[in-house]
Amino acid sequence: MATNKTVGKTNTLGLTREDYKGNKSTLCPGCGHDSISNQIISVAYDVGLKQENVIKLSGIGCSSKTPAYFLGRSHAFNAIHGRMPSIATGATLANHELTAIGVSGDGDTGSIGLGQFKHMMRRNVPMVYIIENNGVYGLTKGQFSATADAGQELKYYGKNEYPAIDLCMEAIVGGATFVARSFSGHAEQVRALLKAALAHRGTAVIDIISPCVTFNNNPNSNKSYDYGKANEIPLHEIELIPEGFVPEREEISIDPDKMESYEAGQEILVRMHDGTFIRLQKVGPDHDPRSKAQALALLEKVGMEQLFLTGLIYYEEPRPTLLDTLHVVDTPLARLQGDTLRPPKEALDKLMQSMM
């Protein structure tokens, strides 16, 4: 954790890491979700995120409680089960200058909220959407969720007979423009992905396997810490390179459709909308996240072979966001006042005249 290194230090906004914390967590000690909250705090501190411009949104679940535990100076909305995407849609429509960070669970997103999740991505609502995926419903005491693998067993609920829903696959098919998978035990990668997602313009989905220590941490569950530690295969090391910092020579262009395998240590630079780059230094299997076909094929393989691959799975040049498509004024709608909100009396009189 970054705490030790930063004691007493301040970031670009003159704030300490402490200033980015929220209330004390009330989750079970060791819950994977807490470690994700910590990475959010670290990243926000590192990049000098202005908390007053951030909104934290969530549904219902242990995971959805976590916005209370980070960024205490940000407005938050802990809404209802599975419906956070619609709240995010409305809030970002009302004020497009806000940075929206959503936290959801695999139940919240993959079951009750699957419809809203997909429609949010289809509309390209600009936000970071984090799924804290533990394969169970933590808050209702350990029922299977839709991301539990077929064949998995739980003490009380027995065997899960149904295939898992892969939320990254759903995200890509649904139209998300940034899709990643990570592991809450892999703090460094979570941070790198969060940084990249925050820089992205559009829906950025990060599906983070986040063990539920109380209901689903048996080593033979593929959502457990032990399993994750033993089996995680990172695709690449991820680093965000700010605009203007990329040495010319390093930009190698690979046609994703005809990509030949590239050597370990070789890298892919993904250019983002504002000139920032995501540097992906290969450490695992070949993968170019700029190819939808590759991304889907990779996830298909992941499902067949039960692989725990992590990293940036899919990236797409940002499409217009929902707001871009609506042709509304540049000033956030929430800030419009007086005359802009009410047409003049003459406009009404003219209209009435035309109806007589």
Partner 1 sequence: MGVIDLPAESQMQQTGERIVNDFSFMVATKNGSGSQTSNSTIVRALFKMGIPVNGKNLFPSNIKGLPTWYTIRVSKDGYTARRSRVEIVVTFNEMTAAEDIVNLPPGGVCILPQEWNWTKSRSDIIYYEVPVKDTVRQFDIPTERREQVSNMVYVGVVAKLYDIPLETIHQALSDQFNGKPKPVQMNYQVVEAAYHWAADNLQKLDRFHIEPMDKTKGKIIITGNEAAALGALFGGVTVTAWYPITPSTSLVDAMLDYKHLRRDPVTGKDTVAIVQAEDEIAAIGMIVGAGWAGARAMTATSGPGISLMSEFAGLAYFAEIPIVVWDVTRMGPSTGLPTRTSQGDILFTYFLGHGDTHHICLIPGSVEECFEFGWRAFDLAEQFQTPVFVLSDLDLGMNNWMAEPFQYPTEPINRGKVLDKEALERFIAEKGEWYRYRDYDQDGISYRTLPGTDHPRAAYFTRGTGHNDQAIYSERSTDWVQNMERLRRKFENARKVVPQPVVDYDAGKQIGLISFGSNDPAVQEVRDRLAAEGIETNYLRLRALPLTPNVHDFVLNHERIYVIENNFDGQMAQVLRMEIPGDTRHIRSLALGDGLPMTPRWIYDNIKRYEGK
Ligand X SMILES: Cc1ncc(C[n+]2csc(CCOP(=O)(O)OP(=O)(O)O)c2C)c(N)n1
Tell me whether residue 33 or residue 290 sits nearer to ligand SF4 (CB atom): 33
234 binds ligand SF4 (CB under 6 A): no
Residue 106 touches which member of partner 1, ligand X, ligand SF4, none, C-beta under 5-8 Å by kind: ligand X
Tell me whether residue 42 or residue 217 sits nearer to ligand SF4 (CB atom): 217
Indicate which single residue of 35, 37, 89, 134 sits in contact with Mg ion (rule: CB under 5 A).
134
Tell me whether residue 105 or residue 126 sits nearer to ligand X (CB atom): 105
- 45 neighbors 11 (Cβ within 8 angstroms): yes
Tell me whether residue 144 or residue 308 sits nearer to ligand X (CB atom): 144
Indicate which single residue of 11, 214, 266, 281 sits in contact with ligand SF4 (rule: CB under 6 A).
214
- 142 neighbors 171 (Cβ within 8 angstroms): no
Tell me whether residue 18 or residue 251 sits nearer to partner 1 (CB atom): 18
Question: In which element (H, E) is residue 159 found?
Answer: strand 158-159
Q: Cite the DSSP H helix spans in 164-253.
A: 167-174, 187-199, 225-231
Residue 295 touches which member of ligand SF4, Mg ion, ligand X, none, C-beta under 5-8 Å by kind: none
Tell me whether residue 85 or residue 228 sits nearer to partner 1 (CB atom): 85
Q: How far apart are CA 92 and CA 35, in angstroms?
A: 27
Q: Which stretch binds ligand SF4 (CB under 6 A): 23-31, 200-208, 262-270, 330-338?
A: 23-31
Residue 258 touches which member of Mg ion, ligand X, partner 1, none, C-beta under 5-8 Å by kind: none
Least distance to Mg ion, CB of residue 212, Å: 6
213 binds ligand SF4 (CB under 6 A): yes
Tell me whether residue 62 or residue 238 sits nearer to Mg ion (CB atom): 62
- 206 neighbors 193 (Cβ within 8 angstroms): yes
Residue 222 touches which member of ligand X, Mg ion, ligand SF4, none, C-beta under 5-8 Å by kind: none
Residue 334 touches which member of Mg ion, ligand SF4, partner 1, none, C-beta under 5-8 Å by kind: partner 1
Residue 213 touches which member of ligand X, ligand SF4, partner 1, none, C-beta under 5-8 Å by kind: ligand SF4
List C-alpha distances in Å: 302 to 165, 187, 198, 295. Answer: 12, 22, 26, 10
Residue 86 touches which member of partner 1, ligand X, ligand SF4, none, C-beta under 5-8 Å by kind: partner 1
Least distance to partner 1, CB of residue 102, Å: 11
- 196 neighbors 312 (Cβ within 8 angstroms): yes
- 31 neighbors 215 (Cβ within 8 angstroms): no
Return the closest-CA partner of residue 134 out of 38, 31, 232. Answer: 31
Q: Name which of residues 88 to 107 contact Mg ion (CB under 5 A).
A: 105-107
143 binds ligand SF4 (CB under 6 A): no
Write the CB contacts of 143 (distance below 8 Å, at least 6 apart in sequence): 136, 137, 157
**How many residues interact with Mg ion (rule CB under 5 A)?**
4
The Cα angle at residue 186 between residues 150 and 115, in degrees rounded to 5: 45
- 287 neighbors 298 (Cβ within 8 angstroms): yes
Tell me whether residue 139 or residue 194 sits nearer to ligand SF4 (CB atom): 139
Amino acid code (one letter) for 74? S
Write the CB contacts of 306 (distance below 8 Å, at least 6 apart in sequence): 149, 222
Q: Name which of residues 283 to 342 contact ligand SF4 (CB under 6 A).
A: none
Least distance to partner 1, CB of residue 42, Å: 20
Pairing between β-strand 99-105 and β-strand 54-58 as defined by DSSP bridges:
parallel
Q: How far apart are CA 214 and CA 130, in angstroms?
A: 21
Return the closest-CA partner of residue 193 out of 242, 123, 265, 128. Answer: 128
Return the closest-CA partner of residue 104 out of 205, 225, 24, 203. Answer: 205
Residues lying near ligand SF4 in the complex (CB under 6 A) = 27-28, 31, 33, 62, 134, 138-139, 212-215
Residues lying near Mg ion in the complex (CB under 5 A) = 105-107, 134
